[in-house]
Structure formats: C-alpha cells, structure tokens
Structure 1
C-alpha cells in the first residue's frame, strides 16, 4: 500500500469547497479528471455504503469512514462493481481522504490516498488535475 498526498490552496471558504466536492452537479464536473461522466449513489453519512460509477455503471463501492462537514471526508474502498455485480477486493486499508483547513487565504484542501501499487501512476496523473478543477469551481462559481 502506498500513501499519496496532494494539497491545493483555494481562495474560497471551506463551506464553498465542501459544496463543490460533494454536490451532485459539481462532483460530476471535478471527477471528469478521473473518468468522464463519473457520479455516485448513496448518502455520505458515516457508516453508509457509497457507490462510485462511470457512465457504464461500473466502478467501486466504499464505506464512509468519516464525515465532518466542511472539515473531513474519508472513504474506505471495499470492492468493484461490474455489470451490476459487487465484488469485494482485498485492498486492505485503501482509503481516500479529503481534509479542508481554513486559513487567511481561504481553504487548504488536502487529498490523501492509500492505494495498492497498481493505481499509483493513475493517481499521480489524475489527482492534481481533479484538485485544480475543484479550485476553479470553488473560486469561480456563484
């Protein structure tokens, strides 16, 4: 398992950044950095299962480990979904965490990923692009 961490400074309030991260419309926009047409189903309450899909309804499912509004969201990735079938994966502590810290310039957004080695290059390429989209949406949306 490898840990990757990315941060970006955003000239917007934590409330605005949080809204961009998790509102349906803006979630679909910033996650195009990973896969065009991405979306999720489920609530983001701690302990619930959330399903992350591509446009073909394939993807993965995760448990919300932590949800502290405007501060932190953490997912534990549990398995894959293909053709509607959920298949558990032995990914260990494969987590994805978003941490928002208010400061004088707005919000520092940190994304931390615990990932199997197979996905490291994908995240190194895609995650910084996703954070740039979050920044753009947070600073430029009404």
Structure 2
C-alpha cells in the first residue's frame, strides 16, 4: 500500500472549502480532474456506503469512515462498480481522506490517499489538478 499526500493552500474558510468538496454541483466540477461527468450517490454520514460513478454507471463504492464537518472526510474503498453492479475488492486499507486545517489566510486542504501500487500513478497525475479546481472554486465562487 502506498501513502500519497497532496496539499493546497486556499484563501477561503474551511466551511467554504467543505461546501465546494461535497455540494453536488461543485463536486461534479472538481472531480472532472478524475473523470468527466463524475458524481456520487448516497449520504455522507459516517458508516454509510456512498457510490462514486462516471457517466457510464461505472465507478467504486466506499464506506464513510469519518465525517467531521469542515474538518475531515475519510472513505474506505470497498470495491468497483461495472454497469451498476458492485464487485467487492480486497484492497485492504485503501482510504481517501480530505483534511481541512484553518490558517490565518484561509484553509490548508490536505488529501491523503492509501492506495494499492497499481493506482499510484493515476492519483499522482490527477489529484493535484483536482486540488487546483477546488482552490479556484472556493476562492472565486460567491
């Protein structure tokens, strides 16, 4: 398992950054960095299952392991979805965390990914782009 950490400084409050991360409309905007047309289904309450999809009904399903509003969201990835059918995977502790820390000038947003080696390159390529979009949305939306 590889641990990857990505960080961006955003001149906006943690509440604003949190809203950009998880509001349906802005979520669809920043996740274009991974796949155009991405969206999620489900609630983000701790212990619930959330499904992340592309426009072709493919994606992954995860459990919300932690949800501390305006501070931290953590997903444990459980499996893949193909044509709407869930296929559990043995990824161990494959997690994705979003950690927000308030600073004098706004918020530090940190993404911490625990990923199997096979997905490392994907995240290294795509995650910085996603953080840049989040920064832009948080600093420039009303």
Question: TM class by shorter-chain length?
Answer: over 0.9
**Counterpart position of 1:56:** 56
Secondary structure at the aligned position of 1:91 is classed as coil
The aligned length equals 142
**1:40-78 CA distance string (max 9 Å, x none):** 000000000000000101000000000000000000000
The alpha carbon displacement at 1:10 in A equals 0.1
* Deviation at residue 84 of structure 1 after TM alignment: 1.5
3-state SS, counterpart of residue 99 of structure 1: strand
Deviation at 1:35, TM superposition (A): 0.3
**Residue 24 of structure 2: aligned partner:** 24
Residue in 1 that maps onto 2:95: 95
Match of 2:124, SS state, is: helix
Distance in 1 (CA, whole Å) between partners of 2:127 and 2:86 is 25
The separation in 1 between residues aligned to 2:21 and 2:91, in whole angstroms, is: 24
**TM-score, with length taken from structure 2:** 1.00
The TM-score normalised by the length of structure 1 is 1.00
Tell me the C-alpha RMSD between the 2 structures. 0.3
| Counterpart Cα distance in 2 of 1:91 and 1:132 | 28
3-state SS in 2 of match to 1:126 = helix
Query: Is 1:38 the counterpart of 2:9 in the alignment?
Result: no
Instruction: Report what 2:66 is aligned to.
Output: 66
Structure 2 gap segments, 5+ residues each: none
Could you list the runs of 4 or more consecutive aligned residues of structure 1 that deviate by over 2 angstroms after TM superposition?
none
Counterpart-to-counterpart distance in 2, 1:33 and 1:85 = 24
SS state at 1:119 partner:
helix
CA distance in 2, matches of 1:137, 1:113: 22
Aligned to 1:130: 130
Q: How many Å apart are 1:96 and its aligned residue?
A: 0.1
CA distance in structure 1 between the aligned counterparts of 2:110 and 2:85, rounded to whole angstroms: 32
